[in-house]
Amino acid sequence: MIKDKYTIKDIAQMAGVSKGTVDRVLHKRGKVSKSAFEKVDKILKEIDYRPNPIARNLKKNKTYSIHVLLPDPHKDPYWIPANEGVLEAANQFTPFGILIRKYFYDPTDKSSFLIQSEEAILSQPDVLLMAPIFESESQVILGKCCRTKIPVVLFNNHMNTFKEQIFIGQDLKQSGRVAASLMGKIIGENDEIAIIHINKEPHMQSKENGFVEFFKEKPDRNHIMVSKTFNSADKIGFNQEVSQFIKSHPRINAFFVTNSKAYMLVEAFESLEKKDGIIIGYDLLKPNIKYLEQGAIKFLIHQKLKRQAFLSVNYLAEHFLFGKPLPSQELLPIDIITTENAHYYL
């Protein structure tokens, strides 16, 4: 009897036992006599039995809840793609009994983060998916989840202290290196470089580290590099800061912006009537793409927030539904964007 799909019934028949016994052998539960075990085990070794995931899931008939905690996309457009990714995956998996609930918090307000996260874990979801942008506060939440046995999946950025969590995102340091390798290809041998942090968040330092490291490894490259942080809340203040900076560093003409706000630097340059300047930045925000097309930004690195969010939900859903193993960490490719390939990533 050679088939390409065996069922428990088939195995039972072949081993000369009932399907109940086969079930007991497969799941190592209940009492099975030595002889019966051997009969079934022999058959199992001969054939490649893989249970039908569809039937299994139908029987289980459980709805799984995924609670997603992320910054309100209305407050910061950076998070719009994350929301879209979650939505898309949710749409795909709700018919299968995957229940996704979103909790938005204000990315400028730590207390709102705490309130929303409390809410999110209150009803004991099967898993919490979150972007941990506030370090110490996220720590608190992770501790709570640990105690209440709610598994956590992180995306966008890492939490180094909790190694056991699952992470879906990019290697930030490596993305700094990618930026550096691009910069290295398009600037002159003696050009000076500025690393610009706009409204700096802790994880942005990794990008600078990678960027600097890349050039340190190249003995033939000795660019002067300056790291600068701009923290003005408003545009006028920001432009003033930029103006002062370029006055005090007249020879710098290459700029690496470590987050999605490269467009702000371009706009500051425009208002200062600064025409040259090679800029590399992050993310496919509308103004960034506009300046990429105009040539003011040379390259963008795509952090693929949408894909991060989508993949996270996707992995979890397929894990719950069909028992697929979860990766402990998935580092997404670091995509390089130029005018000509930008539209494929939108």
CA distances to 43, 168, 181, 311 from 320, in Å:
29, 17, 40, 14
Taking the complex as a whole, the smallest distance from the CB of residue 135 to its own copies amounts, in Å, to 26
Helix 34-46 and helix 19-27: axis angle, to 10°?
Answer: 80
**How far apart are alpha carbons 293 and 314 in whole angstroms?**
33
From 2, 58, 149, 251, residue interacting with its own copies (rule: CB under 8 A) = 58
Which stretch, 69-77, 127-135, 141-149, 335-343, contacts its own copies (CB under 8 A)?
335-343
* DSSP tally for the chain: helices H, then strands E: 13, 12
Instruction: Choose the contact partner of 21 out of its own copies, DNA, none; CB within 5 to 8 A by kind.
Output: DNA
Q: Does 80 bind its own copies (CB under 8 A)?
A: no
Residue 209 interacts with its own copies (CB under 8 A): yes or no: no
Q: In terms of CB distance, is 5 or 251 closer to DNA?
A: 5
Site string for its own copies, 135-164 (x = CB under 8 A): ------------------------------
| Residue 180 contact partner, candidates DNA, its own copies, none, CB within 5 to 8 A by sort of partner | its own copies
> C-beta of 51: minimal distance to its own copies in Å?
7
Is residue 24 involved in binding DNA (CB under 7 A)?
Answer: yes
Q: How far apart are CA 207 and CA 178, in angstroms?
A: 10
* Shortest reach from residue 313's CB to its own copies, in Å: 16
Q: Does 31 engage in binding with DNA (CB under 7 A)?
A: yes
In angstroms, what is the minimal distance from the CB of 13 to DNA? 10
Binding mask 48-87 for DNA (x = CB under 7 A): ---xx--xx-xxxx--------------------------
Length reported for the chain? 346
Q: Which of 1, 2, 4, 35 touches DNA by CB under 7 A?
A: 35
Nearest one of 302, 304, 277, 272 to 288, comparing CA atoms: 302
Question: For 238-246, which contacts have Cβ atoms below 8 Å and span 24 or more sequence positions?
Answer: 238/198, 238/264, 238/268, 239/267, 239/268, 239/271, 239/272, 242/268, 242/269, 242/272, 243/268, 243/272, 245/194, 246/272, 246/274
By CB under 7 A, is residue 160 in contact with DNA? no
Q: Looking at beta carbons only, is 177 or 203 nearer to its own copies?
A: 177
The secondary structure of residue 325, as a DSSP letter, is P
Number of residues that bind its own copies (CB under 8 A): 40
Stretch that binds DNA, among 20-28, 103-111, 138-146, 304-312 (CB under 7 A): 20-28
Long-range residue pairs from 119-126, CB within 8 A, at least 24 positions apart, any chain = 120/67, 120/68, 120/69, 121/67, 121/145, 121/148, 121/150, 123/65, 123/67, 124/148, 124/150, 125/65, 125/66, 125/67, 125/101, 125/150, 126/64, 126/65, 126/66, 126/150, 126/151, 126/320
On whether the CB atoms of residues 197 and 262 are closer than 8 A, the answer is no
Binding interface with its own copies (CB under 8 A): 4-5, 50-55, 57-58, 63, 94-97, 99, 174, 177-178, 180-182, 185-186, 214, 298, 321, 331-341, 344-345
Q: Which residues bind DNA (CB under 7 A)?
A: 5, 7-9, 16-21, 23-24, 26-27, 30-33, 35-37, 51-52, 55-56, 58-61
